Structure 1
Amino acid sequence: MENHQLEDPQSSEMTKEGYNQSALVDRGYENEKTLDDDYETVPVEREPDQMLAARHTFLGGLYRRLFSMGVEARGVERVPEDDRSPKNAINNLLMWFSVNTVLTTIPIGALGQAFFNLSLPTTIATIMCFCAFGCLTTAFIATLGPQTGCRTMVIARFSFGYPGGVILSIFNILTQMGFSVICVVLGGQTLYSISGQLPLEAGIVIVAVCALIICFFGYDLLHIYERYAFLVITVIIIMLYALGGSSPAGYDISAQKAKEDTGANLVADVLTFGGICFGAVSGWAPVAADFNMRLPANTSSTYVFILTFFGVWIPVTFVSILGACLMTIQNPAYMDAYDANGMGGLLAQTLAPWGGGGKFLMVVLSLSVIANNVPNTYSAALSIQALGKPFQRVPRFLWTVLVFIIYTVAGVAGRESFSAILSNLMSILSYWTAFFIVVVAEEHFLFRRPSQGGYNLEDYATPSKLPPGYAGIFAGACGIVGAVVGMAQVYYTGPIAKLIGDAAGGDLGFELAGIFAAIVYPPARWLERRHFGR
């Protein structure tokens, strides 16, 4: 992948006449000094921890103590070149392995049979193809982290403008909180299924609190945890594959074949389930740059792209296919376990032959969702900061606590509707991420080439220097129109979706959202640049 040259000129606020204090505060500048030789006034850069401690007089002492304990102070502020870490990008691959080698990924594969009556071979083929397509989006956004030193929702400002970035941040907050609800509910269900003694609500809170601790500290602890979390869970997943295949009746590849639709109805089922698979992995795209923006700017984009692609695709397909396989077991005890307690019950039944050892593995598996929930919580807090300067002045770790409270309460309230939440969220998620990716990619490759001036990275927090956002917002609105006419959901089926199969239709929401946005954004952005010059 081409690594575009990025410009990082000196901010135009730094003049002999002075500078815009508010704009510089957002970049990490707090006070000034005077040069005796020419009396020029220039800003002095401060680290994020110093900024926060100085800005909040009453809580400054508490903040300093937290920062000395390792709590990350940096929020959505850009990471300057001299503050980047030359650590090997292979850590990024391991992070994605841990994030996706989790309990939460297993039910995705189960949806193929549970909701769409697809056979196992069709389910596996759909998972592998649509997940690969979704991984392309996440891998591309990941390459922009080292190139810009910015968080994902801040990068979006260079195409959607500051107002459009706020809109996308709201979408992302809802998305990451939705993912978090799925994580804590499934983790709580699994803990409950082990003995039935621990209330489901208590299991949800336990999982949520564990994720909060890691997210509260931030970037460094997050990467340390995610570097190793996948190792034990990978072994347990392999054990589940083996136990499921050796269970009474074992896997029945032809179990769903008699129920599988044919012709146009089969196409509709594959498209709709494929949209869920696409959403499951493209949902990482709006946060992908958040976790590698501290890598040096000269880090190979091809290297980052490949590591991220396979770091997501391999574990997602490996783990979700397990869910599809377990759904083919026709033994009544396994089927009853799924009907009673969902995927948590089915997994508990699969591990039941190992007695107490199986229960211990279930506990470990239930806690694996922490690795999946950590990036959700972390990035949701950053997206709140990206809503604007007033939000940015509140430290990231405080927003993390608020996010934790909201999704924990939502998880307790929606604990009985896990499968419906999972299916609906994944489908809707794929719609907005599709047009978001298309617009950012077209801006990057068409309008931010070195010959076009590249990125003026110092402008990331100055609305007057960013694009107005009319083109990006218009393209996003057209993408929403494409999603509406192509979506096939329980509550609504678009006119184009109805043309595929029976009344339920086939979901083309994310495909049309991306196509509509891709068509309108280049000419709209050309007109915007011509009229506004930015």
Structure 2
Amino acid sequence: MSAKDLEWGQDTKDAVPPQQDVSAAENVGAVRENELVTQKGPIYRWLSKAFDMGVEARGIERVPEDERDGKHTIGLLLLWWSVNSVVSTVPIGLLAQAYYTLTFHSAVAAIVAFTAIGAACCAFIATLGPKTGLRTMVISRYSVGFVGGSIFSIFNILTQLGFSCTAVILGGQVLTNVSDGKLPLEASIVLVGFIALVLVFIGYEAVHQWERYAWIILLIVYFCMWGLGAHQGFDIGAQQELQDTGLAYAGDFLSFGGIVFSSAAGWAPIAADFNCRLPHTIKPWKVFVLTWFGLMVPLLFIECLSAALMTVPAYAAAFESGDAAGVIAEVFAPWNGGGKFILVIMAFSIICNCTPNTYSCALSIQALFKPFEKVPRAIWAVVSFVIYTVAAVAGREHFSEILSNFLAILGYWVAFFIVVVAEEHFIFRKHVIRGGYDLTAYDTMSKLPVGAAGIFACACGAGMAVVSMAQVWYIGPLGAVFGEYGGDLGFEMSAATTAIVYPPLRYIEYRLTGR
């Protein structure tokens, strides 16, 4: 049986004749973990003792079926709960009133709608991991080829470094506030990031074990924040007089919605990285539902909380003088020493966020060029840590500006990434390309699509995003329709344009090249 007979949407066991070895078919193109040291070269051999002690050796190589299990199935839900229950989720809701003059009602409407869309995008990508045994950036090669996959990897590296950078800045700010400035912000940033690095260095199993339980204590903390805010008195009608109307209001709503979308969909480029060790027989709907709820529950709970906090005058004033960390410190100020203890917990919650970011950043570096695969994932994780820590120290005084601009731009590329992967899967691999996915081809440029169609379609999407964007430093012609400050339609127009351009070009590419 050829590898081309193995389609993602098909149960592999049904595709294998009874007399044939099922495990051999399921493991096409896969590499066992104990074979990596001998196959990959001297740096892997140098770290062989670390691998023997439990450090994950595997990078972007396909996971064979006999090295997969279902023990982290429910952990998939809990992982996303922990990842999004961190203190860096809090500032997103704060931006609604502080930057876009939205009332609490409008903020909640945007949070619910755009989080649902973003979480669904991420959940779809997550379904592809168990069916292939591949990491997210490697899966993208089947849409845009090896070169296009490398371009996506560059975007993803920047994305994960950006997430980690903003996370450790906020974690460091909280830790410095707790110490009343005795612990310098630079030292706080390094400390928080380093602890996350330890987990990432160990790898997949350590990440899942940490994320399985971390959300529990954080959930209690957020319940406390809701209670303390209610005691101060939420003023749901706050900023009603300041909220824009007409096109200006639509622009504010869309711009904030783009940030919210990115906070959920921004995980799509790494979604398959943490379930590629699940059995291929797991139902896609189960992976989708677990991922969707794993994102929706904490994001809605925390972002709506932070939007509510900005209706309390004391907290709004704290934001003006001390950014997001100042708001959190003000919330727990009535508890004195107990409040400071909770702030320490929140500062180190950043570990839950930095861990998957750094882990997937290292994988994306491996996916850039084949020679980079010779360097173990653990080493690339250390390199990633150094880069985002230096960037965080340099930008430590501009957290909110970095966060709002970064999340808005992030949505543009994630939108066209999701579109080409989805259209390739549902249109071409299901109905046009005979045999579906050749799982032996994932690391061979000559067997993968040329990628010209995907790259061009994404370039068109990026072009429309520029025309439609609305940022402090640039407002495109379409974004300017919404008034002086514009309205950000970047991710919507990026997705729509790519969706229109990609199918006809991909069909022509396939007819001309046969792949």
Does the alignment reach a TM-score above 0.5? yes
Structure-2 residue corresponding to 1:441: 422
- State the match for 1:240 in structure 2: 225
CA offsets per residue over residues 222-255 of structure 1, 9 Å max, x none?
Answer: 00000000000000000001001102xx211111
Equivalent position SS for 1:464: coil
Alignment match, 2:155: 171
**Superposed counterparts of 1:98-117, under 5 Å:** 98-117=82-101
Tell me which amino acid in the other structure corresponds to 1:228.
Y
1:482 equivalent among 464, 484, 509: 464
1:57 CA displacement: 4.2
- Are residue 505 (structure 1) and residue 486 (structure 2) matched? yes
Match of 1:387 in 2: 368
Q: Which residue of structure 2 lines up, in the alignment, with residue 187 of structure 1?
A: 171
Instruction: State the alpha-carbon separation in 2 of the partners of residues 477 and 187 from structure 1.
Output: 36
SS at match of 2:446: helix
Task: Give the deviation of 1:499 after TM superposition.
Answer: 1.5
Q: Would the alpha carbon gap of residues 336 and 304 (structure 1) be closer, same or farther in structure 2, given more than 3 Å must change?
A: same
| Alignment TM-score, normalising by the size of structure 1 | 0.90
Give, in angstroms, the shift of residue 6 of structure 1: 7.4
Task: Supply the AA of the counterpart residue of 1:506.
Answer: G
2:506 corresponds to 1:532: no
Whether the 8 Å contact between 2:43 and 2:374 is mirrored in structure 1 is no
From 499, 502, 515, give the equivalent of 2:496.
515
Deviation at 1:495, TM superposition (A): 1.0
Shift of residue 327 of structure 1? 1.0
Matched residue type, 2:221 = I
Cross-structure match for 1:291: 274
> Matches of 2:44 and 2:126 in 1, distance apart?
35
Show the counterpart of 1:215: 200
Tell me which amino acid in the other structure corresponds to 1:4.
G
Distance 1:482 1:231 in 2: 42
The offset of 1:445, in angstroms, is 0.3
1:76 to 25, 43, 60: 60
Which of 433, 439, 443 lines up with 1:457 in the alignment? 439
- 1:345-377 deviation per Cα after TM superposition (whole angstroms, max 9, x unaligned): 111111111111110000001111110111100
Per the alignment, residue 263 of structure 1 pairs with: 246
Q: Is the 8 A contact 2:161 2:384 kept in 1?
A: yes
Partner of 1:511, secondary structure, is: helix
Task: Describe the shift of the 1:273–1:221 C-alpha distance in structure 2 as closer, same or farther (beyond 3 A).
Answer: same
Is the contact made by 1:126 and 1:273 (CA closer than 8 Å) also made in structure 2?
yes
Q: 1:450 to 1:217 in 2, by over 3 A?
A: farther
What is the alpha-carbon distance in structure 2 between the residues aligned to residue 252 and residue 154 of structure 1?
Answer: 48
Query: What is aligned with 1:316?
Result: 299
Structure 1 segment 246-257 matched on structure 2, within 5 A: 246-247=231-232, 250-257=233-240
- Give the conservation status (yes or no) of the 8 Å contact 2:130–2:278: yes
The answer on whether the counterparts of 1:49 and 1:74 sit within 8 Å (CA) in structure 2 is no
Partner of 1:5: 10
Cα offset for 1:56?
Answer: 3.8
Query: Hey, what does 1:66 align to over in structure 2?
Result: 50
RMSD between aligned alpha carbons? 1.8
> How much does 1:54 deviate?
6.1
Q: Residue in 2 aligned with 1:123? A: 107
**Paired position in structure 1 for 2:411:** 430
Alpha-carbon distance between aligned partners in 1 of 2:139 and 2:419, rounded to the nearest angstrom: 14
- Report the counterpart of residue 340 of structure 1 in structure 2: 321
Structure 1: which amino acid aligns with 2:70?
P
Equivalenced residue count is 495
2:183 is aligned to 198
CA distance in 2, matches of 1:349, 1:104: 16
The one-letter code matched in structure 2 to 1:80 is: P
Letter in 2 for 1:330: P
Give the Cα separation in 2 of the matches to 1:429 and 1:285.
11
For 2:127, the equivalent position in structure 1 comes to: 143
In structure 2, how many angstroms separate the alpha carbons of the residues matched to 1:379 and 1:145?
Answer: 14
Structure index of larger Rg: 1
- Provide the C-alpha distance between the structure 2 equivalents of 1:327 and 1:289, rounded to a whole number of angstroms: 35
Is 1:494 the counterpart of 2:476 in the alignment?
yes
SS of residue in 2 equivalent to 1:434: helix
Correspondence for 1:19: none
> For 1:457, what is the secondary structure of its paired residue?
coil
Q: State the secondary structure of the residue aligned to 1:462.
A: coil
Q: Deviations over 1:142-181 (max 9, x none)?
A: 0000011100000000000000000000000000000000
Q: Whole-Å Cα distance in 1 between the matches of residues 388 and 249 of structure 2?
A: 36
1:169–1:386: 8 Å Cα contact kept in structure 2?
yes
Q: Quick check: 2:44–2:375 contact (8 Å CA) kept in 1? A: no
Q: Which amino acid aligns with 1:116?
A: Y
The question of whether the paired residues in 1 share the 8 Å contact of 2:72 and 2:208 is answered with no
Q: Do 1:381 and 1:396's aligned partners in 2 also have CA atoms closer than 8 Å? A: yes
Partner of 2:333: 352
- So what's the TM-score if we normalise by structure 2? 0.93
Counterpart residue number, 2:20: none
Secondary structure of the 2:450 match is: coil
Moved over 6 A (4+): 6-10
SS of corresponding position for 1:463: coil
- Contact kept? 2:464, 2:490, Cα under 8 Å: yes
Q: Which runs of 5+ in 1 are unaligned?
A: 11-25, 29-44
Deviation at 1:339, TM superposition (A): 2.4
Q: Secondary structure at the match of 2:440?
A: helix
- 8 Å Cα contact 1:4-1:450 kept in structure 2: no
Alignment match of 1:468 (pick from 444, 450, 456)? 450
Structure 2 counterpart of 1:155 = 139
1:51 deviates by 2.6
Matches of 2:185 and 2:51 in 1, distance apart?
A: 35
Q: Secondary structure at the match of 2:328?
A: helix
Matched, 1:366 2:366: no
Quote the residue 2:4 is aligned against. none
CA contact (8 A) 2:115 2:264 kept: yes
CA distance in 2, matches of 1:456, 1:528: 17
Measure, in 2, the Cα distance between the counterparts of 1:122 and 1:387: 41
Query: Conserved in 2, the CA contact under 8 Å of 1:153 and 1:286?
Result: yes
2:380 is paired with a residue whose SS is: helix
Report if the CA contact (8 A) 2:70-2:278 is conserved: yes
SS of the aligned residue for 1:507 comes to: coil
Deviation at 1:476, TM superposition (A): 0.5
